[in-house]
A and B are shown apart, each in its own frame.
Chain A
Amino acid sequence: MSVQRSTVIFAWILLLPALLYVAVIVAYPLVDTFILSFTDASLKKTTKWVGWINYEKIFNATFAEVIIRTFVWTFFSVSIKMIIGVFGASMLNAAVPGRALFRVLTMPPWIVPMAIGIFMWGWMYNGQFGMISGVLQRVGFADGPIAFLAQGSTAFWATIITDVWIGVPLVTLYMLAAMQSIPQDLYEAAWTDGAGRFYRFRRITVPLLIPSLITMSMLSLIATFNSFDIIWILTRGGPSGETTTMIIDTYRTAIGSNKYGEGAARAVLICIFLSIFCLAYFRVTSRLSSGENR
Chain B
Amino acid sequence: MSQPLMVNRYRWYELIGIYAGILAFLTFILAPFVEGFLVSLKPLSQLFSSPYRFIPQNGSFEAYRTMWVSVPGFARYIFNSFFISTIVTAVVLMLVVPAAYAFARFKFRGSGHLLGAFLAVNMFSGAVLLIPLFRLMRSFGVLNTYFAIIVPGVAFLIPSAIWLLRTYMMRIPRELDEAAFVDGASHFYTLRRVILPIAMPGITVVAITTFIGSYAQQFIYALTFNSKTEYAPLPVGLFAYFGRQEVIWNELMAASFVGIAPAMIVIFFLQRYLVSGLTAGAVKQ
Contacts and interface: CB of A to CB of B under 8 A. Distances in A.
Interface of A: 6-8, 10-15, 17-19, 21-22, 24-26, 28-30, 32-33, 36, 84, 87-88, 91-92, 94-96, 102-117, 119-121, 123-124, 128-131, 133-135, 137-138, 145, 165, 168-170, 173-174, 177-178, 181, 184, 187-188, 191, 197, 211-212, 215, 222-223, 226, 228-229, 247, 250-251, 254-255, 260, 263-264, 267, 270-271, 274-275, 277-278, 282, 285, 288-289
Contacts of B96: 18
Given A91-B25, A104-B271, A108-B30, A25 B122 contact: no
Interface stretch (B60-68, B132-140, B199-207): B132-140
Contact of B122 (A21, A91, A222): A222
Interface string B74-102: 00000001000000000000111011011
Contacts of B245: none
Contacts of A107: 267, 271, 274
Given A113-B218, A267-B128, A285 B285 contact: yes
A18 B98 contact: yes
A168 to B, nearest CB: 7
A74 B51 CA distance: 35
Interface in B211-233: 212, 215-220, 224
Contacts of A11: 102, 105-106, 108, 111
B50 A128 contact: yes
A289 B259 CA distance: 42
A240 B154 CA distance: 35
Contacts of A115: 219, 234-236, 238
Contact of A18 (B158, B188, B217): B158
A93 to B, nearest CB: 10
Contacts of B123: 222, 226, 274-275, 277-278
Nearest to A110: B216
Contacts of B21: 87, 91
A221 B67 CA distance: 38
Contact of A14 (B98, B234, B279): B98
B69 interface: no
Interface in B114-154: 114, 116, 118, 120-125, 127-136, 151-152, 154
Interface of B: 4-8, 10, 14-15, 18-19, 21-22, 25-26, 28-33, 35-36, 39, 47-54, 81, 94-96, 98-99, 101-103, 105-106, 108, 111, 114, 116, 118, 120-125, 127-136, 151-152, 154-156, 158, 162, 187-188, 191, 212, 215-220, 224, 234-236, 238, 249, 252-253, 256, 259-260, 263-264, 266-268, 271, 274-275, 278-279, 282-283, 285
Given A22-B121, A251-B127, A124 B35 contact: yes
A263 to B, nearest CB: 5
Contact of B48 (A105, A120, A129): A129
B50 A212 contact: no
Residue of B95, B116, B129 contacting most chain A CB atoms (<10 Å): B129
13 contacts: A18-B99, A21-B158, A32-B135, A87-B21, A91-B18, A119-B238, A120-B32, A129-B47, A129-B50, A226-B128, A263-B131, A264-B131, A289-B285
A177 B19 contact: no
Sorted nearest first, the 6 A-B pairs with minimum C-beta distance are A134-B52, A115-B235, A226-B125, A29-B132, A32-B132, A25-B155
A108 B267 contact: yes
Given A107-B271, A113-B217, A254-B131, 10 more contacts: A102-B22, A112-B263, A113-B81, A113-B216, A113-B263, A134-B52, A134-B54, A138-B51, A177-B283, A215-B285
A170 B213 CA distance: 12
Contact of A105 (B26, B50, B252): B26
B39 A123 contact: yes
Nearest to A189: B7
Nearest to A172: B25
B102 A114 contact: no
Given A25-B133, A91-B18, A119-B238, A274 B49 contact: no
A206 B216 CA distance: 33
A254 B6 contact: no
Nearest to A161: B28
Contacts of A87: 21, 25
A108 B158 contact: no
A25 B29 contact: no
A103 B125 contact: no
A174 B278 contact: yes
A99 B21 CA distance: 12
A138 B52 contact: yes
Given A91-B22, A184-B5, A123 B131 contact: no
A94 B256 CA distance: 33
